[in-house]
Structure 1
Amino acid sequence: MFTPASGTATFDLDHGERQIALEYLADAWNCAEEDGLQSAALAHASLFAALATFVKMHGDEATADLVAMLPDRIRSGEYNLDRILQ
């Protein structure tokens, strides 16, 4: 099941609002899994919704620039929910 990440957030939004948003998403994710949806389908739908929202808010180029930074951030463990922050 999906659990919200703790620790340093990835974007420059208010941390409290981000945490609340993650809790809403975790609840929806868990309900969907309980209804039998696969995690991979949820992840793909979530990525699509997030990217479509960024494109609508910031445009194609800014969203592409954001996505271009993801490989390094992923490799550095920024999206690893199991990592331990010291």
Structure 2
Amino acid sequence: MIYQFNDFIPVIHETAFIHPQATVTGNVIIGQNVYVGPGAALRGDWGQIIIEDGCNVQENCTIHMFPGVTVLLKEGAHIGHGAIIH
């Protein structure tokens, strides 16, 4: 599911795959050929998430941040099943 938060709407490259059971909210930018698995939660509600090209965010991962902080996954990063990045 893709959700707007305040005035932020996620920007997702057309080649990225977001599983229908994943949640992408707010200030999130997803690059080319990114995989986001089922149960993943990318919460760009209090800061920004940038996921560069070729990243792999596996099942049940959570990405969130403290207010005003940006989380950056560099090109080709792999985040394992159930990981939490905060």
Give the TM-score normalised by the residue count of structure 1.
Answer: 0.23
Rg larger for: 1
Give the TM-score normalised by the residue count of structure 2.
Answer: 0.23
Report the structure, 1 or 2, having the larger strand content. Answer: 2
Name which structure has the greater RCO, CA cutoff 8 Å, separation 6+.
1
Report the structure, 1 or 2, having the larger helix content. Answer: 1
